[in-house]
Structure 1
Amino acid sequence: MGQSDTDFTGKRVLVVGGSSGIGNGIAQAFRARDAEVLVWGTRANASDYDPTDGSDLDGLAYQQVDVGDPDAIEAAHVDFDTLDSLVLCQGTVVYKRGEFEREGWDRVMAVNLDSLMHCARRLKPMLAKVGGSVIIVSSISGFSANVGNPAYAASKAGAVSLTKTLGQAWAPEGIRVNGLAPGLVDTKLTKVTTGNPKRLEGALRAIPAGRMGLPADMAGAAIFLASPLASYVCGQTLIVDGGLSL
């Protein structure tokens, strides 16, 4: 892999949901390769995030946008006039069977699925100017059942399908749309598993690689998909799960 293939000097990247977890790992990976990176998150200021939750906003521009609200997406001002890569990594989950109720279902679908389309459509003109790429972060839950979380599973399946459909629709305009589907990654969203020793032990037994994924593992896949190395990859979702879904 040549350095030039993954050098993002002068490139502009927006990572939605880049304030912590997988999104933050991806944002910092682009910054490490000299991209200019903007992060959208839900809190008022970058200083409102706790580094112990996996938030490293050093060197990243930050903007508060609640993508669960379509009007907030439309109203958001982006300082960039062009965009080389848009990473859609927003996500939420409701535990204790809350997704079986209307409020939980609606909130998860709004953030995990609806906002993907709203963000992509809103930022498409900026991507089209430079032949940019979109990366939709879904989950291996989009390929199977997810016990207790119907909205999470359905939204992630929708994200995989949206990746295919936008990939087909926008490729003629020079915009590549692809996705990545993480398995079990150590973030604050998975604390319900990682914080329970017995549950974690069972989860690790199911992963052939023998360990949980890290945000850095997901970042490697994102860098590849955004780079010229993936110039002929279109509409695909790359599974990055240590073999868990096998």
Structure 2
Amino acid sequence: MGDLDFTGKRVLVVGGSSGIGNGIARAFLARSADVTVWGTRPRVEDYEGDPGSDLSGVSYTCVDVAQPEIVAAAPFDGDSLDVLVCCQGTVIYARGEFEMAGFEKVVDVNLNSMMACALKFRAQLAKAKGALILISSTAALRTTLGNPAYNASKAGILGLTRSLAQAWIGEGIRVNGVAPGLVDTKLTKVMTADPKRLEKQLGAIPSGRLGTPADIAGAVLYLASPLADYVVGQTLAVDGGGSL
């Protein structure tokens, strides 16, 4: 596997219990990394039977990342970390993000927790000369009907990626991001399970298909690897051409 061999590397995937995050965790595990996943359910057994959730072979910790004090206190064994992937995210439909409670909840999970996680592991990443990868969305590049908090938080991640990259590269921490397009996960079922909405979405994707967690994982593996050693502060759109 050469440059994509992560044998002996420690990887933490925040939000790695399902969907895109789980695909990323599985990809690192398949390349011999020591993988830890943070999720929201109390026990790893609570994910058994969920489509898109496979936590076999990884370590699991329940952490409510929406609360920075809980992030700061979360246990982590070791003083170095090679790769931190922040893939946590949520959305509220039915115009719930037009209420302040809903808006704040989404921003806390999607954006504020990214900073909390980055700060918690700054020293460990610096010791390992590691990589921090923030997962945003191509929604950051356009408006999203009915979801102002999701839109604003994902756009904020793009700015956070650039700012942290500039601030921390001198410590040996490479910060980059990935912006997925429409990926078939439980979070997007409101669109993908509706034939009319799905047809409309596919019509706007030049590749003619939905993305998969494995598609996103490929970009993350690249950014975490020595192949991307000179890539700093960039967000890679992985969307089948949808943002064109």
Unaligned runs of 5+ in 1: none
Partner of 2:133: 135
Are 1:115 and 2:113 an aligned pair? yes
In 2, the alpha carbon distance for the partners of 1:93 and 1:48 equals 21
| Bigger shift: residues 7-16 or 46-55 | 46-55
Q: 1:16 aligns with which of 14, 17, 20?
A: 14
Partner of 2:191: 193
Partner of 1:26: 24
Identity fraction in percent: 62
Q: 2:66 aligns with which of 68, 86, 93?
A: 68
Q: 2:5 aligns with which of 7, 21, 25?
A: 7
Partner of 1:218: 216
In 2, the alpha carbon distance for the partners of 1:119 and 1:160 equals 16
Over residues 118-166 of structure 1, what are the superposed CA-to-partner deviations in whole Å (9 max), with x where a residue is unaligned?
Answer: 1000111110111000000000011110000000000000000000000
State the Cα distance separating 1:215 from its structure 2 match: 0.1
Are 1:242 and 2:240 an aligned pair? yes
Q: TM-score, normalised by structure 1?
A: 0.98
CA contact (8 A) 1:13 1:38 kept: yes
In 2, the alpha carbon distance for the partners of 1:44 and 1:31 equals 22
Are 1:43 and 2:4 an aligned pair? no
SS in 2 for 1:15: strand
SS in 2 for 1:177: strand
SS in 1 for 2:177: strand
State the Cα distance separating 1:49 from its structure 2 match: 1.1
Letter of the aligned partner of 1:187 in structure 2? Answer: T
Q: TM-score, normalised by structure 2?
A: 0.99
Partner of 2:83: 85
Over residues 212-238 of structure 1, what are the superposed CA-to-partner deviations in whole Å (9 max), with x where a residue is unaligned?
Answer: 000000000000000000000000000
Unaligned runs of 5+ in 2: none
CA contact (8 A) 1:140 1:181 kept: yes
SS in 2 for 1:172: helix
State the Cα distance separating 1:52 from its structure 2 match: 3.6
Partner of 2:168: 170
